Amino acid sequence: MPSRKKTLHFLSSALVTSVSVGILGYAMSTTWAAATMDCAPSGNVLFNGTAVIEFKLFNGSWNRINCPFFGRDEKFQVFPELAKVGGAPIVLHSLSVGLLVLCLLFSAVSILISLYNSVSNPYETYMGPVGFYASSSLSACLSLLVIMLFVVNINVTDMAEDLVKKFSQDNPVDLRNKSAEMQIGYYLVIPYMVLSLLSIALIYMYEHAAYTHKKEQQRPTEDAPKEIMMY
């Protein structure tokens, strides 16, 4: 059976990782970004309209004011609409969602390994600290990659403009001065990443303490006179 200290550290790590999974799960269900742009009927120099489009990972909404008419909030499915637009937006969005799913998968593996180590003393295999470090590190790295990919997709590509033009294709419009604001879903990826790193720190603290204790136990033998060692 593992020591009480080992059980405490691995259970704490499993709890921290579980909290991070809950945060990421909620993040994937809420709004990630909102893009606002000035709008005018095609060929009109007076940009007195506004289009606002909000993105969740799987669905979104857009509202138009004089773009070219007054409107109301309209819902849409992100993947089907981006597939019609094509290009980099659908690729980057699909990659972001896919990486988030992998984050959840690796976090689940981390929880499994933590719980296994809290009730047993496995040898140094993939079910030990090495496997935990690998899965939690991948979770943190992939979440950081999602943060970068999503902000690039919103701010650099023409994803929002292309969608507004598609929705207004019966009444073509011109757009300019796009501004994007990241929302809570996007920012919640940051605490998920931090908690993944914290879970690694908890296991490392135990491993470092166990290694130090082991070396201290070996030191009296190493420092013993050679005459005693011969016996």
Confidence tier at 230 by pLDDT (50, 70, 90)? very low
Length of the chain: 231
Average pLDDT on 54-62 reads 93
Residue 95 above 90 pLDDT? yes
Residue with tokens 């990782």: 17
Question: Which domains are seen in the chain, by residue range?
Answer: 4-208 (1.20.140.150)
Please, what is the average pLDDT of the chain? 86
Q: How confident is the model at residue 152, as a pLDDT?
A: 95
Helix (H, G, I), strand (E, B) or coil at 170: coil
> How would residue 171 be classed by pLDDT, with cut points 50, 70 and 90?
confident
What is the pLDDT confidence band of residue 2, given thresholds at 50, 70 and 90? low
pLDDT, residue 107, reads 97
User: Burial letters for 91-114: b for 16+ Cβ neighbours within 10 Å, e otherwise?
Assistant: ebbeebbebbebbbebbebbbbbb
Residue 39 has pLDDT above 70, yes or no: yes
Tokens at residue 76, please?
């849409």
Residue 96 has pLDDT above 80, yes or no: yes
What value does the mean pLDDT take over residues 79-104?
94
Instruction: Give dist(CA 49, CA 69) in Å, integer.
Output: 8
Convert the pLDDT of each residue in 180-204 to its tens digit: 999 999 999 999 999 999 999 999 8
- Measure the CA–CA gap between 121 and 175, rounded to whole angstroms: 62
- Extended beta strands in the chain, E state: 33-41, 49-55, 59-65, 74-77, 173-182
Q: Which of 3-17, 79-93, 127-141, 215-229 has the lowest mean pLDDT?
A: 215-229
pLDDT of residue 92 exceeding 80, the answer is yes
CA distances (Å), origin 45, targets 39, 48, 62, 121, 221: 10, 9, 23, 73, 87
Interior CA angle at 152 toward 150 and 153, to 5°? 65
Q: What is the pLDDT of residues 11-27, one digit of tens each?
A: 999 999 999 999 999 99
* Beta sheet of 74-77, edge-to-edge order: 74-77, 59-65, 49-55, 33-41, 173-182
209 by DSSP, 3-state: which?
Answer: helix
The Cα-based distances of 25 to 18, 69, 77, 163 in angstroms read 10, 37, 19, 26
Structure confidence at residue 228 (pLDDT):
43
CB 188 within 8 A of CB 26: yes
